[in-house]
Structure 1
Amino acid sequence: MTHSRWLTCHAPPEKPSKVAQRQRELLRTRLARRLLGTVAVGALAGMSMACSPANSAPAGDADAVRTCGALTTPQGIEAARSASGADQEMMDRLVAACQGASSDTNMYDSLRAVMDSAAPTPASLASVQQTFPVTDEQGYTFDLTVDFALRSVTADPSGEAPGRTAAARDISLEMSIANTTTARNLSFREVSGITSPLDLPTFLLSAVYEEGDPVCTLVIETQRNCSWFLAYGRMESGITIPAGGTYDLTIGASPNGGGYPATLLGNIPEDAWAEVQASLAAPDGYKIVYSGGDGARFTPACGSDTLAPPIVWTATCIG
């Protein structure tokens, strides 16, 4: 049987709401072509690629078998290492994966696991990969896991007056909630009287900049700390998370439900753009604000707003 779900001569299917997943899959595909393709074919026949430019069959079990066949002798291993550019540690892991496989399909899956673990994470300007434990006033507990990366910050003056510009950003975000409350379901209340999807329970992620930062003084024009909304994770209507269960939030970047990337910070003086851009790319911390019909259940992590309380705050709390 030939697999087409991962290693093919075509780009993997896009998942618009999963920017990070799309980028990582692209990197995995490139790395897989480089190793599985050149290791197998380069070692066996001196060719440089497993896939021809057109009318190519998807790689899968067959390439896995050819790869492992090439790695049965020291000469084959050295030829594969030279053809692929892989380091010795990678070659050792590939050989071990081949030796531990019990079938052609298992061989493919074993090699895929090696490729997945080797795929580099795209570079980012700033990032958060953390799980935040949260407890409400009734004793319900959950872990809010955030995987966020700010890829770029660029100027977009198209909608601004002369002499002004706006900041557009490219981001990736995944958020999930794990119910850690013993033997109890976890749910969040929608806001009544508001048009959907604004009524849905939402966790809004913002970058925080401390007092005196150019973002605060030149753009938002405050002498206190300030924030830049980045994206949100939203629960769908009627969701209940059972004890021990996990729910992946729906991701977006505009509070009204729009997708990302987006331009969300305007009125920036063009002559201060370089300074503001550098500042935007290096937040002092982050906050996650909860918006729902039951916001009062949480004690604000910073500030006093109980209707939309910040339940996570990683910067200095100065109001």
Structure 2
Amino acid sequence: MISVHLRLVLLICNIALTVVLGVFTGKINFWIMKIINSRRLYMRQFTPSITHKALNRDTFKFLLMGLMVLDHISYFISPYLADIFHIITRVVAVGFAYLVVEGLHYTHSRRDYLFRLGIWGILMVLGNYLMNLFVLRKDYAMSITGDNIFLTLLVGAIIVCLWDNHQEQKRKRLLRVVSVILVVIGIIPILEGSFIIFPFMLITQITHQNIKQRNLSYLALMLVMAVIELPMALSIGTSDPLMLFDSVAMNASDTFFILIVPLLSFYSGKLGKYDKQLKYVFYLFYPLHLWFIHLLASLLCR
């Protein structure tokens, strides 16, 4: 039998333990909610809501995916209509690049985010290779790395993480220098769209708290692209408007990424109602729609 004194001691210890745990867990919950709320506040500040009718994250993704299809159906439409689609769809790559930069501020684990992009990039490399090897005719073969935006977004995300690091000052500067070097290396057209996507993502990261500064920086990048690309596009030795238009659409299309500015003015930055359920829709849609279009072209086009 337990003595009365021992029972009393155990009761007091139990009450004390309950109080301590209650206070301790209460503090934990308080700090957890504070962190969550600060993260939500930070996200709201990343992309300020312009209007109650603005596009949320899910709607924005679906719009970009629809435009993406228009850019890839050139096999089945007239060349000049394909030129028009090619120009207006320059917002697609930078639109998803913007979402990646935003996502890096949203995610609970940047390492997992990068890992996910890397895995899908590798899967698409394998898929492109197998499609070329066993399915597609040579005329409609896919570029192993060129038709793979995942790899470009992965390197762009690494650039953003290197810039937005939380190391001590000396190491922080070194990592930022590395990020700028990667942007410069992106001039070499090894990965799809790296020429425009890398600087776009770095600009988005640096200026995301100031919309006016962000848009002016995008405009400056557009002017740089125009200076680089337009002279070559316009030097085809003809004054035919249609031929000039075709040359600009094909050889100076990066300039038209600036169309993302008016599109972003309708983007609220808010999560959609089905954001969790639709998390992997783009990861699946992007390779599947490309493989399907190339397969159709290989079967139907002669």
TM over 0.5: no
Which TM-score bucket, shorter chain as reference?
A: under 0.3
Structure with a larger share of its residues in helix: 2
The TM-score with structure 2 as length reference comes to 0.22
Higher RCO (C-alpha under 8 Å, 6+ residues apart): 2
- Specify which structure has the higher proportion of strand: 1
